[in-house]
Amino acid sequence: MHCKELESVLETEGLGQLPKDARLHLATCGACQAFVADLNSIVSAAKSLPAEVAPPDRIWISLRARLEAEGLIKEPVEVSEQPAWWESFRAWLKPRTFASAAGAAVLLAAIVFVTRISQTSHPGIAKNQPVAETPHVAQPSTTASASAASTTPVREPSKGTTASKTKELAPSPSESASFTLSQAELDVPDMQLAGNSQVDLALRQNLRTLNAFIAECELHLKQNPQDELAREYLNTAYQQKADLLAAMMESGRGEN
Amino acid sequence: MCASSVIPGTTLGATRRIRTRSGAATGQLARQRPAQPVAWTEAEAIRLAQAGNAPAFEFLYQLHGRRVYALCLRMVGNPADAEDLMQEAFLQLFRKIGTFRGESAFSTWLHRMTVNVVLMRLRKKSLPTDSLEETLEPDAENSGPKRDVGAPDLRLTGAVDRVNLERSIEKLPPGYRTVFVLHDVQGYEHNEIADIMGCSVGNSKSQLHKARTRLRDLLQEEIRQQAREERKAAKTPTGSLD
């Protein structure tokens, strides 16, 4: 066998087990020995290169946005397997669900409460209703924003004086959200955020930033209750805080 | 020869279950990731993605993204282009996922799209030194290794380190580079590469051998270049003092 023939054997057979005549030639030809050794070195070095590299998160974020824009991604479909009843119960206890439910309950209770107050202060409208006791004085934190709430559209259709009174006195959804989030936040530090990992530190830092922003928005709204943009910012911040708290509790649950 | 058994992407089967990590992130990222871990087979995820299920899309992305990104990175040599190409490849994949019938492995299908996207980009860039035709029509006359008298011995000089090899891979013609990366770096077998590249198994073997041989030449040239620079640097200090 000649060098050229060994070359074609290597091309078809690779660097694995060579035929006998190729091995015989290799044993006597220094040039071919060096050639094969070099190729083996290259293959060994190539195996040390990473076959997988983690892509940056921004690729998926951007890709997902494009998929959504093209309508390729639709809402998640239901998984065919029925979850067990305890799974449903656990899902209900999830922070976000629980916060939403609690917020809705607080809002409903406030509407009922204020409606009753307004009915007692207008006997002509509600003649047969029992007279209520002296209503509680509003909390200082809600007094200022109660006037701000007068400009906030209420989802209930307005019906006569009672409804308009309700509109004036009922806590705004923002206030309810604030209350609910505060309650949720109280639970978080002891229960979930004991860790000192980078993720926990970042979450805590984000929460501090959000709280500062919310306080600033609330202060601004007290001074400028007509500022719809500030109200919008505040609502967005509440939503972000809810998400953040949910993420924190989720993270803590994973660690605990 | 190649280590496909340890490479996750090549052994994906319909029964393989992979669990994604829970999305415990903040802000925008938290909304982009699934709230709960999901455990699907690849086939289940494909079926759900065909119905437009967002978590299934992400599952498939997480499953294959690392290998696709590594391939793009190795092919174009810079992260910005690699990100762009990876996104383009997955976009094409998800646009066409409704047509996937499982005739070939999903990872092969994805890699074929990725290779096509990458080669298309490289053609548009029209690399100045080498043409793609070189890789598609092997030239028998030039296929043999150069055996220069006095050529540096790669083993003795230790030239085949990671940096030199990566630099030399970037200089390979795109077709050679694709086969070399798929086989020697990512561990695909020749039949899989033939499927990905749309060529015969024999052609894949031939391309690989030529790629290795060309790499050897490039590495030897690298050693010569370094030697020239060292000689030049050895002369420079006396001149620079004047």
The pLDDT of residue A135 is 41
Q: Is A47 on the interface with B (CB under 8 A)?
A: yes
**pLDDT given for residue A253 in this prediction:** 52
Residue B182's contacts (CB-CB under 8 Å, 6 or more residues apart) are B71, B111, B115, B188, B192, B193, B196
Collect all residues of chain A within an 8 Å Cβ-Cβ radius of residue B166: 49
DSSP B40: E
The helices-and-strands tally (H runs, E runs) of chain A is 11, 0
- Interface contact flag, B69 A54, Cβ < 8 Å: yes
Task: Please report residues of B whose CB lies closer than 8 A to that of A211.
Answer: none
The answer to whether the pTM exceeds 0.90 is no
**Could you tell me the residue ranges of all domains in chain B?**
1-22+33-126, 131-139+156-235
Asked whether residue B15 carries a pLDDT value surpassing 80, the answer given is no
Task: Compute the count of residue pairs across chains A and B with CB atoms less than 8 Å apart.
Answer: 170
Query: Average pLDDT of A164-191?
Result: 53
CATH of domain B1-22+33-126: 1.10.1740.10
Give the containing element (helix H, strand E) for B66. helix B54-76
Share the mean pLDDT of chain B. Answer: 76
Residue B65 pLDDT exceeds 90 = yes
| B29 lies within 8 A of chain A by CB | yes
Predicted pLDDT at B10: 34
* pLDDT given at position B129: 45
Q: A244 and B213: CB-CB below 8 Å? A: no
Q: CB contact, 8 Å: A72 with chain B?
A: yes
Mean pLDDT check: name the lowest of A30-44, A85-99, A117-131, B210-224.
A117-131
Q: CA-CA distance, A18 to A31, in Å (whole number)? A: 17
pLDDT, residue A169, reads 46
How many residues belong to chain A? 256
Give B 74-113 residues with CB within 8 A of chain A.
Answer: 74, 79, 83, 86-87, 90-91, 94-95
Q: Pick B15 or A38 by higher pLDDT.
A: A38
pLDDT at res. A43: 92
SS (H, E, C) A101-142: HHHHHHHHHHHHHHHHHHHHCCCCCCCCCCCCCCCCCCCHHH
Given a cut of 90, whether residue B19 has pLDDT beyond it is no
Interchain pair A15, B143: CB under 8 A = no
Report ipTM (2 d.p.).
0.73
CATH topology of domain B131-139+156-235: Arc Repressor Mutant, subunit A (1.10.10)
Nearest CB to B187 within list A7, A35, A51: A51
Under an 8 A CB cutoff, do A38 and B180 touch?
no
Give the number of other Cβ atoms within 10 Å of residue A122's Cβ: 15
* Long-range own/partner contacts, residues A65-73 (CB < 8 A, 24 or more apart): A66/B87, A66/B91, A67/B54, A67/B57, A67/B91, A67/B94, A70/B95, A72/B52, A72/B57, A72/B94, A72/B95, A73/B52, A73/B53, A73/B54, A73/B57
What residues of chain A, 186 to 225, have a C-beta less than 8 Å from chain B? 199, 202-203, 206
Which of A11-20, A151-160, B53-62 tops mean pLDDT?
Answer: B53-62
Are the beta carbons of A73 and B54 separated by less than 8 Å?
yes
List CB contacts (< 8 A) between A73 and chain B. Answer: 52-54, 57
Q: What does the pLDDT look like over A19-51, one tens digit per residue?
A: 888 888 888 888 888 889 889 999 999 998 999
Instruction: Report pLDDT for A26.
Output: 87
Q: Residue A250's pLDDT is what?
A: 67
Find, in chain B, the residue whose alpha carbon is nearest to that of A248.
B24
